[in-house]
């Protein structure tokens, strides 16, 4: 298996102040770019932690080869 890199970012903001969420761009050594879809989870700390853990589990289910 190849060595992998998980790219992520997190920031807590008041939910009612968010107007939109865009993509993040990743620059590859080959000169190409890749994009990361950003996700929004709102709620209290317990709900955010629970949903984040479920999302992480689901992410690895999408890529069973790793």
Q: Which residues are within 8 A (CB) of 7 and not within 5 positions of it... i.e. 6 or more apart?
A: 24, 26, 36
| pLDDT recorded at residue 66 | 67
- What confidence category does residue 1 fall into, taking pLDDT thresholds of 50, 70 and 90? low
Residue 55 pLDDT greater than 90, yes or no:
no
Residue 57, in any domain of the structure: yes
Residue 32, in any domain of the structure: yes
β-strand partners of 24: 36
| pLDDT recorded at residue 33 | 96
Residue-wise pLDDT for 15-50, tens only, equals 999 999 988 999 999 999 999 888 889 999 999 999
Question: How many domains is the chain built from?
Answer: 1
Residue 2, in any domain of the structure: no
Closest Cα to residue 40, out of 62, 60, 10? 10
Token pair belonging to 36:
């990361």
Residue 13, in any domain of the structure: no
Residue 12, in any domain of the structure: no
Domain of 43 in residue numbering reads as 24-62
Which DSSP helix (H) or strand (E) runs through 52? helix 45-62
Residue 34, in any domain of the structure: yes
Residue 7, in any domain of the structure: no
3-state DSSP assignment of residue 16: helix
């Amino acid at each position: 298996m190849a060595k992998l890199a998980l790219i992520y970012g997190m920031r807590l903001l008041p939910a009612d102040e968010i107007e939109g969420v865009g993509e993040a761009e990743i620059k590859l050594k080959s000169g190409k770019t890749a994009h990361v879809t950003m996700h929004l989870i709102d709620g209290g700390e317990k709900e955010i932690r629970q949903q984040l853990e479920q999302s992480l589990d689901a992410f690895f289910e999408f890529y069973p080869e790793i």
